[in-house]
Chains A and B, each alone.
Chain A
Amino acid sequence: MHKEAAIREPLILGHKSFHDVTEDVCRPIEDKAPKMWYVLFGIAAIIGLYGVGCILYLLGTGVGVWGLNKTIGWAWDITNFVWWVGIGHAGTLISAVLLLFRQKWRMAINRSAEAMTIFAVFMAGLFPLIHMGRLWLGYWVLPLPNQFGSLWVNFNSPLLWDVFAISTYLSVSLVFWYIGLIPDFATIRDRAKKPVAKKMYSILAFGWSGRAKQWNRFELVSLVLAGLATPLVFSVHSIVSFDFATSVIPGWHTTIFPPYFVAGAVFSGFAMVQTLMLVMRKAMGLEAYIHTKHVEYMNIVIMVTGSIVGTAYITELFISWYSGVEYEAYAFINRATGPYWWAYASMMTCNVVSPQLMWFKKLRTSLVFTFIISIVVNIGMWFERYVIIVTSLHRDYLPSSWSMHYPSHIDIGVYVGTIGLFFVFFLLFARFFPVLALNEIKTILKSSGESYKNAPDTHHGHSANENNNEH
């Protein structure tokens, strides 16, 4: 058992015992869902279904129903793709990188952040697939033998790297998440009273028994998966940025894209985690586990990654002038002062100015302020992708083909629909899955729980005889 400095704030408030942790996490699953859940689920499902309808219309009619044109061949679809992938990054960062750094506060949020990752990557993956037009031929991106066409897929293309990166990322995150879930499903299984629930959770728990050897393997597998997922999470958004950076479009052809995209991804992902967590802790009564300290830690990450993003924006501007390349300079002048100046201005305000407010302790520990900023950041990060993609394309080398992008209602419908679907998945997760890594939380109860933290050390030696009420 690790000791922790008394001055460090407890991570679990109140006088919780092991059993209280189980109760607090399992109660929302075992109780009837509150009315609010049904209301939210209904709204999310309607929005999601509208999105599905738009996708079906798109598939039936063709990609022409989007607001794309000859000059702007990529716009909302790829913006939304990058936005969702970026949001996904926080989950893996929390569960993998913070595990390697042994940050105990991750345990309160890792489970739901990973769920968020998986659902966000689902939504992201949808966009390239529907952009193919013929969704059912999506498997052609795999390296299949020549009978399927005249060529192999192009392994020199960042778009194919993306196929490998996103599918590896999704499947590894899913496995990492599920391996962590198994012991917690076993807890729910062993508590379940209703036969159907018992059966379902028995299947989900894979027969986990909590043997010492199982836990020994569990710990190693978590560690190695974290070690594998850490470079993975950095590689995925680097590769997403290669989609742009390896082209010769001014505004895209930039070597700072990989670190800049990764920082932006973590930035937006943490903002989404904040948005979800602040609502969830309240709705599910988990204030003792996810409290101001956790929010503050996440706000510090938002501040740091936001500053990296801000530095990247300014570096980009400086280099576009310093390089002396006319086209590059024009791309950036056009971003700031051209017809899309409002998108650029929103991106700068939301992403550069708003995270700097987190320097004030009063603000970064205010839950209301955090909630507002978390939404502002995600709006800003959406605009970042829109600015990078559309403003770089809409005025290319040939002024006669300059054009503007106006989203069609299908563009908007698909995007809003994915937000609806995302919340459908997340609400189902919150209803049926343990939203906190409840068995992992128990391992830090003694070192970081409020009731144990400053208590005198009674757990060694002599206390063994005090509990002797044997049967």
Chain B
Amino acid sequence: MADRIFYAMYDDDDILKDGAKHLVSKGVKVSEVFSPFPIHGLDPIIGIQNTRLGIMAFIYGLTGLLLATIGMRYFMVVDWPMNIGGKPNFTYLDNILAFVPISFEFTVLCAAHGMAITYMLRNRTLPGIPAQNPDPRTTDDRFVMEIRLSENSKFSTDDLQEMLKETGIVELDQKELK
């Protein structure tokens, strides 16, 4: 699809944030921001919703807890109960205190790794994937705002350029997509 992409570059995170606020108030859709570090308070301005990875971590954690419980019950109660100093071990509940440490560790193990894997997949960050930041300086000290013409059809190219220039940019790049 033919499209025109504007890459507006800033040299300060607060100027970018103010600029984004200004543009959004005029009805411009900011499609992406590339920055070397997280800009706090930017996400609600450009309409990025909070990630739900936390919920996933909780679910992975519960899965881990469940697996550990089922596993230990099978190993230590059902399949091969061990007589350890004659202590009661006929049911899981009799022996539950000894199972607390591993239940906890396995919960953490599953929550942390499950979340980390989901994070990598959702972010599309895996070994061998090429970088997609438009300018190498965006991982150093520059902040780039991406605006697509197709998403802002009520504005002309000149309108967008004019508006971007008002926000304190240091560079403006354009890319044609054919």
Contacts and interface: CB of A to CB of B under 8 A. Distances in A.
B3 interface: no
Interface string A148-175: 0001111110101100110110011001
Given A207-B132, A443-B37, A217 B101 contact: no
Interface string B116-154: 100110111111111111001111110000000000000
**Residue among A219, A460, A464, A467 with the highest chain B CB neighbour number at 10 A:** A464
A285 interface: no
A167 B138 CA distance: 37
A165 B18 contact: no
Contacts of B104: 231, 235
Given A155-B102, A164-B102, A465-B168, A212 B113 contact: no
A242 B101 contact: yes
B137 to A, nearest CB: 7
Contacts of A165: 101, 105
B115 A208 contact: no
A212 B13 CA distance: 12
A242 B100 CA distance: 13
B71 to A, nearest CB: 7
Nearest to A461: B18
A190 B136 CA distance: 5
Given A168-B109, A187-B139, A152 B125 contact: no
B136 A467 contact: no
A212 B46 contact: yes
A155 B171 CA distance: 62
Nearest to A154: B82
B15 interface: yes
B111 interface: yes
A442 interface: yes
A199 to B, nearest CB: 11
Contact of A18 (B38, B82, B141): B141
A332 to B, nearest CB: 26
Contacts of A158: 101
Nearest to A165: B105
B177 interface: no
A218 interface: yes
Interface string B2-24: 00000000011011001100000
B95 interface: yes
B37 A442 contact: yes
Interface size class of A (residues with CB under 8 A): 35 or more
Contact of B115 (A153, A224, A468, A469): A224
A398 B139 CA distance: 67
Given A164-B101, A190-B133, A235-B101, A224 B141 contact: no
Contacts of B170: 467, 469-470
A225 B61 CA distance: 12
A470 B171 contact: yes
**Residue among B128, B140, B165 with the highest chain A CB neighbour number at 10 A:** B140
Interface in A360-380: none
Contacts of B111: 224, 228
Contacts of A140: none
Contacts of A216: 38, 43, 48, 50-51
Contact of B105 (A164, A175, A182): A164
B80 A19 contact: no
Contact of B168 (A155, A208, A443, A468): A468
B79 interface: yes
A110 interface: no
Contacts of B171: 470-471
Contact of A190 (B46, B106, B137): B137
Given A152-B76, A442-B141, 12 more contacts: A17-B141, A146-B80, A154-B84, A156-B95, A190-B139, A207-B131, A210-B36, A211-B33, A215-B37, A439-B139, A468-B168, A470-B169
16 contacts: A18-B141, A19-B140, A22-B141, A161-B102, A164-B109, A175-B113, A190-B137, A209-B132, A210-B34, A213-B123, A215-B35, A220-B54, A231-B104, A235-B104, A239-B105, A459-B12
| A-B interface, 8 closest residue pairs, ranked by CB to CB distance from nearest | A207-B129, A18-B141, A190-B136, A206-B125, A215-B38, A464-B168, A19-B141, A161-B101
